[in-house]
Chain A
């Protein structure tokens, strides 16, 4: 179980590789150590909350039917640019399901790599390229989320805003609607609705 999980955790392939020649028992024993080492250096509390929010969006947004090839295809949470979550997000979505659908985390370096993604967190590292990235994603039914300041102004859908220690949502409902996405009114309530060109 732990072994399979480790394989699924994309970021830790090197661990598996290093111990591949060792016996299965030793491998299994050290899988725990590897998981521990991931937990030893968790992301900041802020990013932990943001990771949970990313996962929660999977439940509070609806995608058009064309976004999934079939009912078993995983719902993919993508990270573009530098990954602030580390293994925490992987651990979080591990074994989780949205209805029948499993979850998967993928990391992208370039916007052109993005295929079959449903929720995309655009890292702050990409802030300078928002105006190039967002138009590429349009029409792909990807819920775009970022915690960078100008994200929604450039047509991003959701922005995490830190307000007196609390993380709040700014949602560009029109942008989501344009991509065929429906965001549950239940999170629009706690969120602040914004439109493109505004924060």
Chain B
């Protein structure tokens, strides 16, 4: 797992432990390094001192050629177990006496080395001159060789101590870091939990616990404050939406009530107009001059048209109030039935009708029937100038629509796509009334039905090249 993805708790502990561990390691390394260098110097000094002592004692034995005594003096070196070789050379540099007494020649330099002590091949070796009187010639030379075991012993000891110290300190650092990391991680974790709870449950009433007044405390406070603001704004918005909805509902109810009562009230005088013009044309047609007879006929047609308009308006406004009665509906059969019903409208024209295989939907049958009646009668109406007129009902599957897309296509006059947005508005008409009769309510009704089913309706057309109306009827 990458470091930036590890939990903050572990990250903090890793940081604390890593830092303290590195610091500790470097300290120990520096200490041991310093000790190593110091010890080398000390070892040289100590061996030089020992050399001085032995050399001073040996002068007599060498000066008066007594190897036996010299060996005896050298044998005192056995008290210093790190001295592995020692010997005396006489004035001429000849080997005079050695320690240990049975040391092979190979372990000793053939001739004295330069005075002083130095590290060679892991050993501290060197020579001290034998001088009896300061300023006089040397009487001989003492060679001493010491192994580095003393130093290695010491370094091992220090290494052991360092490991112990690091182990102990790491344990303590671990315990301390566990304790201290809480100071930072707990508020952050609490904050993270709260944020998650808020986003998961969309519950803006929860609050993060504040652990102190540091930056994290401020952050927590700011976070809580933000939550409070969101909660408050939500409440305000909800209240406003409720108010607006209520207002709209009231206005809508009022409007619909007004509309239906107006329509009802308008129907009464219309019935009188229609009734009396009928009477006039049926029974008194002989009494009327031909001019008046034509006028009366126009009055009757006008009142019939108005009556139709009122009917349409009433049924449109009723759509808003009606509950949807969804049930499984065989769309194909419905489309065929509607086409059959509309046969009368195109008697005398050559019309080809095609209904594809259509899937069942879950919808209100009465309303879907209204949709097909409107769309098919429009198709027949606007294609009646064609010979033959072609009207087609089908279905396609579109990638951006989860439910099947039904369509009704004709090869009629079509319309200009720049006016497509006006198509589904109430009383919006794209053609002149004397060319194609209609009230301008049909497509508005269709759209309302489709939208009440949760679907979408749109049209594609071109001037004089037919029109296609697409719509969907999602399950719910």
Contacts and interface: CB of A to CB of B under 8 A. Distances in A.
Interface of A: 49, 53, 56, 59-60, 96-100, 166-169, 184, 186-187, 189-191
Given A99-B133, A186-B59, A189-B61, 7 more contacts: A49-B65, A60-B60, A97-B135, A97-B136, A166-B65, A166-B66, A186-B57
Query: Which DSSP category, helix, strand, loop or mixed, fits chain B's interface?
Result: loop
B256 to A, nearest CB: 138
20 contacts: A49-B65, A53-B64, A53-B65, A56-B132, A59-B132, A59-B136, A60-B59, A60-B60, A96-B137, A98-B133, A98-B135, A99-B135, A99-B136, A166-B65, A166-B66, A184-B132, A186-B60, A187-B64, A189-B60, A190-B60
Interface string B65-90: 11001000000000000000000000
Interface of B: 57, 59-61, 63-66, 69, 132-137, 139
B63 A100 contact: no
B68 to A, nearest CB: 8
A184 B136 contact: no
Contacts of A190: 60-61, 64, 66, 69
Nearest to B66: A190
B69 to A, nearest CB: 5
B64 to A, nearest CB: 5
Nearest to A160: B64
Contacts of B59: 59-60, 186
Contacts of B61: 186, 189-190
Nearest to B91: A52
Given A186-B59, A189-B69, A56 B64 contact: yes
B135 A187 contact: no
Contacts, number: 55
A42 B464 CA distance: 150
Contacts of B64: 53, 56, 167, 169, 187, 190-191
A186 B63 CA distance: 10
Nearest to A59: B132
Interface centre among B60, B64, B139 (most CB of A within 10 A): B64
A98 B134 CA distance: 8
A186 B53 CA distance: 13
Contacts of A186: 57, 59-61, 132
A89 to B, nearest CB: 16
B201 to A, nearest CB: 100
A6 to B, nearest CB: 22
Nearest to B131: A59
Nearest to B62: A56
Contacts of A167: 64-65
Given A166-B65, A167-B65, A189-B69, A98 B136 contact: yes
Contacts of B66: 166, 168, 190
Given A60-B63, A167-B65, A169-B64, A99 B139 contact: no
Contacts of B134: 99
A161 B237 CA distance: 129
A178 B72 CA distance: 31
Nearest to A185: B60
Interface centre among A59, A166, A167 (most CB of B within 10 A): A59
B411 to A, nearest CB: 140
B60 A100 contact: no
A169 B64 CA distance: 8
A100 B69 contact: no
Contacts of A168: 66
A8 to B, nearest CB: 18
B137 to A, nearest CB: 6
A11 to B, nearest CB: 23
